[in-house]
Chains A and B, each alone.
Chain A
Amino acid sequence: MKILEVRNLKVYYFLHRGIVKAVDGVSFSVEEGEILGIAGESGSGKSTLAHSILRLIKPPGEIVEGEIIFQGKDLTKLSEDEMREIRGRDISMVFQDPNTYLNPIMKVGLQVAEVYEAHQNAKIETVLDKVVNLFKKVKITDPEKRIYSYPHELSGGMKQRALISMAVALKPKLIILDEPTSALDVTIQLEIVNLLKEMKEELNASMIFISHDLELLSEITDKLMIMYAGKVVEYGSTKEVFNNPKHPYTEALINSIKYIRKDTLPTIEGEPPSLINPPNGCRFHPRCPKKFDICDKTEPSLITIDGRKVSCHLYGEEE
């Protein structure tokens, strides 16, 4: 059963120098208990996409079109109050940098306790025992003391654990992870990933896992969606996409992480395109090794091929 379905979502930032089309017509869905991975370079729109689902996009950013169907309701049509009830309770989020996503002048335990305050009308001080249990669950050592620590007194890994405990507190149906390990040391990353997997099993929640670490995504996700310049270029089961990439961009991305076995690091030439004036035709064509005559003229549509979706002219719509 689909827990979340996003249809033709467009999120634009209205800046003085132009309109940044950060997410430009993205559709996907997440099944119950499934982990969907979203990968792409910085600026591909993956983080904007994650924030849009909970409608946490700040002006000048705006959801301009599309539907976000969660449990039968279109989140884009809810009032701010109705949306507030969903945040943290039904859908929660873990962010990239635990150092800046915690309030520096408030005790960590109280910040976690605020989830109960927001949704169960509880006074913060009365739910601290629940926070201690949560901290135990996410393996924060010495939880009775740690709830009274300020963020700067904890390590990056501990802070991320605290943020994860906040995200799992009310047993949400969907957890959105926006590069939850990027800001952490490599050794800590693995611990956090294992913790997330554990939490997912325990809660039987669905997850959207955003990362530019394809190797990590290939290990833990069920489905994989590759984004480029605000658009989906390939989307299918992780195993298939990873082992047999169809889109030249996906292929290049996967090649670049297998460099350890080679002498040189294969890179993708050029820069990610401007999102204000994206290239005509296929947005990847200026950097694409396989481009041919129509690539800079018409935009390829997302077609289904071999059980996955690809947006590339190499796989014409002749069939």
Chain B
Amino acid sequence: MSLARYIARRLLQAIPTLFILIVFMFILVRVLPGDPARLIAGLEATEEDVERIRVLLGLDRPLHEQFIDYLTDILRGDLGTSLKFETPVIEEILIRFPRTLELAIVAELLSIAIALPLGIISALKPFTKTGALATITSLLGSSMPIYWLGLILIYVFSVNMRLLPSFGYGTPAHIILPAFTLATLLMGNLVRITRASVLDALESNYIVTARAKGLSERIVIYRHALKNALIPIITISGLQLGALLGGAILTESVFAWPGIGLLLLDSIYSRDYPLIQGIIIFYAVILILINLIVDIAYAFIDPRVRISLWKSE
């Protein structure tokens, strides 16, 4: 079985992508307005101090030398030192990332748990009240602005009812509001995708065959239609999860959830270039991995994909 070879090949293919991203990041940070050396030195610093810091950071050297240094550091797993926290960027990321991961997974699972049944019901009973209710719920969910929904939830559950903490991280109770807020947004899309792919599967010719065999409607739907419908649903939820891992910036800031999204926001405010670059490269790696995992998950459901991905080699 060459699943391992397939994974190796995909990872190799990711190298050019990452390289282009790193070049792009490197250039972008250096053409942006704002001088990091001056920022670190502070407003009061003399011109000499700023110059000294610039030399210290290597910002005075030719660009290509800076780039080669930068690249070799990255290859060693060194993403530089945060200007603001004065700790290695990678450390900072590794502290924050698990929290974002936690929030993303809980939100995604919550959204799947709500969206899948809603989508299926609205596909199976398109012209009933339940079906309409599912459609309306999904529409409401996807059109609700996160900061608004977040604030309303805080107002109701934290301020009025005093049931849940309004911000921060720590106990399981802390995750309920931010996860629910995120899930509401994700759910809208997922309900629509689920509904569309179930309807699509039900229209397929193999469903006619299944019925012509005399199978009960329950088996026709569960074994034939839903399993086929799962394929696009997995893609969408995988991609959603990938997007969330980059940090749900709005949600994390509304609920002061100290994840990677909030870290990115902080680093942008304080022009902490090493940190910004580090987070973005980290995010790219995560996205590449998520895409790979989604493709493999795909292949386990759909034998045709298995062939086109790795068996044919």
Q: Which residues of A contact B (CB under 8 A)?
A: 51, 54, 56, 58, 80, 84-89, 92-93, 95, 97, 100-106, 111, 114-115, 117-119, 150, 152, 163, 166
Residues from chain B with Cβ under 8 Å of A106 in the complex? 223-224, 227
Residues from chain A with Cβ under 8 Å of B208 in the complex? 51, 56, 95, 101
Segment of B24-32, B36-44, B299-307 in the binding face: B299-307
Mark B208-240 against chain A: 1 for CB-CB distance below 8 A, else 0. 111111111101000110011000000000000
Q: Which of B214, B215, B223, B304 has the most CB of A within 10 A?
A: B214
A58 to B302, CA, bound (A): 27
- Are A84 and B216 in contact, CB atoms less than 8 angstroms apart? yes
Closest chain B residue, CB of each to CB of A167: B212
- Are B212 and A114 in contact, CB atoms less than 8 angstroms apart? no
**Interface residues of B toward A: which range?**
20 to 34
A58 to B205, CA, bound (A): 11
Mark B279-304 against chain A: 1 for CB-CB distance below 8 A, else 0. 00000000000000000000001111
Residues from chain A with Cβ under 8 Å of B203 in the complex? 58
| Interchain nearest-CB distance for A184 vs B (Å) | 15
- Are B213 and A166 in contact, CB atoms less than 8 angstroms apart? yes
Q: Does B204 contact A (CB under 8 A)?
A: yes
| Interchain nearest-CB distance for A126 vs B (Å) | 16
Pick the residue among B205, B215, B223, B307 that contacts A101 (CB under 8 A).
Answer: B205
Pick the residue among A85, A102, A150 that contacts B206 (CB under 8 A).
Answer: A102
- Are A105 and B213 in contact, CB atoms less than 8 angstroms apart? no
Q: Would you mind naming 17 contact pairs between A and B with Cβ atoms under 8 Å apart?
A: A84-B216, A92-B212, A95-B208, A95-B209, A100-B204, A100-B205, A102-B209, A103-B206, A103-B228, A105-B303, A114-B210, A115-B213, A115-B214, A118-B214, A119-B214, A152-B303, A163-B209
- Are A87 and B214 in contact, CB atoms less than 8 angstroms apart? yes
Q: Which residues of B contact A (CB under 8 A)?
A: 203-206, 208-217, 219, 223-224, 227-228, 301-304, 307
- Are A85 and B214 in contact, CB atoms less than 8 angstroms apart? yes
| Interchain nearest-CB distance for A16 vs B (Å) | 14
Closest chain A residue, CB of each to CB of B126: A59
Q: Which of A54, A92, A104, A105 has the most CB of B within 10 A?
A: A105
A88 to B302, CA, bound (A): 27
Residues from chain A with Cβ under 8 Å of B205 in the complex? 95, 97, 100-101
Closest chain A residue, CB of each to CB of B202: A58
Pick the residue among B215, B217, B307 that contacts A117 (CB under 8 A).
Answer: B215
A82 to B92, CA, bound (A): 66
Question: Given A100-B206, A101-B206, A105-B302: A88 and B212 within 8 A (CB)?
Answer: yes
A103 to B307, CA, bound (A): 16
| Interchain nearest-CB distance for A60 vs B (Å) | 11
Pick the residue among A87, A97, A102 that contacts B211 (CB under 8 A).
Answer: A87
- Are B209 and A101 in contact, CB atoms less than 8 angstroms apart? yes
Closest chain B residue, CB of each to CB of A92: B212
A168 to B69, CA, bound (A): 73
Pick the residue among B215, B301, B302, B304 that contacts A118 (CB under 8 A).
Answer: B215
| Interchain nearest-CB distance for A141 vs B (Å) | 20
Residues from chain B with Cβ under 8 Å of A101 in the complex? 205-206, 208-209
| Interchain nearest-CB distance for A171 vs B (Å) | 14
Question: Given A106-B224, A150-B304, A152-B303: A87 and B206 within 8 A (CB)?
Answer: no
- Are B214 and A56 in contact, CB atoms less than 8 angstroms apart? no
A111 to B215, CA, bound (A): 11
A199 to B227, CA, bound (A): 33
